[in-house]
Amino acid sequence: MAQLNGRPFAPIDVATLAYVGVTTVAACVFMRWDAVTLSLLLGAHALVVCLVLLAPRARTAGPVGRFVGDWYPFIIMGALYAEVGVLNLTFGYDHDRVIQRLDQWVFGGQVSYEWIRAMPDPVLSGVLHFCYLVYYGILVAAPLALWLSGRRDGARVTIFAVSTTFYLCYAVFLFFPVAGPRYAFPLAHNEATRIAVARFAQWLLDRGDSWGAAFPSSHVAAAVVATACALRFWRPLGLVLAPLTVGLIFAVVYGQFHYGVDALSGLLVAGGILYSIRARTPQLAPQPVTLRATPTPEPGSTRIRL
């Protein structure tokens, strides 16, 4: 394991540095005609590198430093996602027709366009859009609940697994951008889209979506990875998250957020990440850290401390 001043880099540090290297190459290629934007992006990359270099030291600096050193990928992930949209819009091409042809071959039609129109059920729409909206809750709840319950090793594995899932998906977005069906097709207007939860989901995407980030579905991949880690390290938590994740898998297609093939590829990415993580941590125990009570000392005896 690489070291900085005797302090080892964690696997998440190496993965983050690798992703920053990939995005730096992409930025230099895509933004070479825009020196101002390129300078801003490279400056942001330098800050991320500094954060990664400080992470090993932070993990030895008490509870707050330990938390920041372990959780920093989640802190910067939103900015990395936004960068994908900036770079893809600058380059300005997509591969939607390729994915549409794959959808036609796999599903016999454009399921992301047809499903919500064929089944405009407000109840079905409400359930699936709710599952879609709790996506970020799934991502945070899995490692945070493990962390707060004392399952710190499980939380760190979950953070690493979810973060590397995002890094892999974002790298694909940069070099194989797919805008997605909400850009390629007209949006549906029926009973399924008029309910408040569906309109709120569209409102959020209108303000926070990154263009070109449809294939593979990072929503599906990251949520499945987070839930599978929860099932491994704290089964009751995983059982709570599992129905929401299943709903999300269907929601991304029903709500016209992703092509059907996007969702399938997200499942494949999740399977690959989980297989790799399981192979690296086969003996990691799912039990929390607990404190055992000590016997009350006899009068005059040496005091026993926890």
pLDDT tens for each residue of 98-146: 999 999 999 999 999 999 999 999 999 999 999 999 999 999 999 999 9
- Give the Cα separation of 142 and 57 in Å (integer): 25
Over residues 44-54, mean pLDDT: 94
| pLDDT (mean) for 279-300 | 56
What is the predicted pLDDT for the residue at 286? 56
Per the structure block, which two tokens stand in for 64? Answer: 């707050």
The CA–CA distances, whole Å, from 26 to 37, 41, 154, 292 equal 13, 11, 33, 52
Task: State yes or no: pLDDT of 247 exceeds 70.
Answer: yes
**Per-residue confidence band for 4, with pLDDT thresholds at 50, 70 and 90:** very low
DSSP characters over 61-79: S-HHHHHHHHHHHHHHHHH
> What are the structure tokens assigned to 299, written together?
């009068």
Q: At 213, phi and psi to the nearest 5?
A: -115, 45
- 277 pLDDT higher than 80: yes
Assigned token pair, 251:
């929601």
Assess contact for 269 and 164: CB atoms under 8 A: no
Angstrom distance (rounded) from CA 161 to CA 295 = 41
Query: What pLDDT is stored for residue 7 in this prediction?
Result: 59
pLDDT for 225 equals 98
pLDDT tens digits, residue range 225-239? 999 999 999 999 999
Taking only the tens place, the pLDDT of each residue in 173-213 is 999 999 999 999 999 999 999 999 999 999 999 988 899 99
Residue 81 CB neighbour total at 10 angstroms = 18
Q: Is the pLDDT of residue 262 over 90?
A: yes
Instruction: Please tell me whether residue 295 adopts helix, strand or coil conformation.
Output: coil
The structure's pTM equals 0.88
Structure tokens at 254: 């029903």
Please name the residues in contact with 256: beta carbons below 8 A apart, sequence gap of 6 or more.
112, 113, 116, 181, 182, 185, 187, 188
| In contact, 237 and 288? CB cutoff 8 Å | no
Angle at 77 between CA 203 and CA 206, to 5 degrees: 15
Q: What is the pLDDT confidence band of residue 152, given thresholds at 50, 70 and 90? A: very high
193 residue type, one letter: T
Residue 280: per-residue pLDDT: 79
pLDDT value for 35: 84
Cα gap 289→287, rounded to integer Å: 7
Mean pLDDT check: name the lowest of 5-19, 70-84, 120-134, 292-306: 292-306
Indicate the burial class of 164 (C-beta count within 10 angstroms; 0-12, 13-18, 19 or more): buried
Q: Give yes or no for residue 79 having a pLDDT over 80.
A: yes
- Least trusted range by pLDDT, from 40-54, 78-92, 93-107, 290-304: 290-304
Q: Which pair of structure tokens corresponds to residue 128?
A: 């699936």
The answer to whether residue 293 scores a pLDDT higher than 70 is no
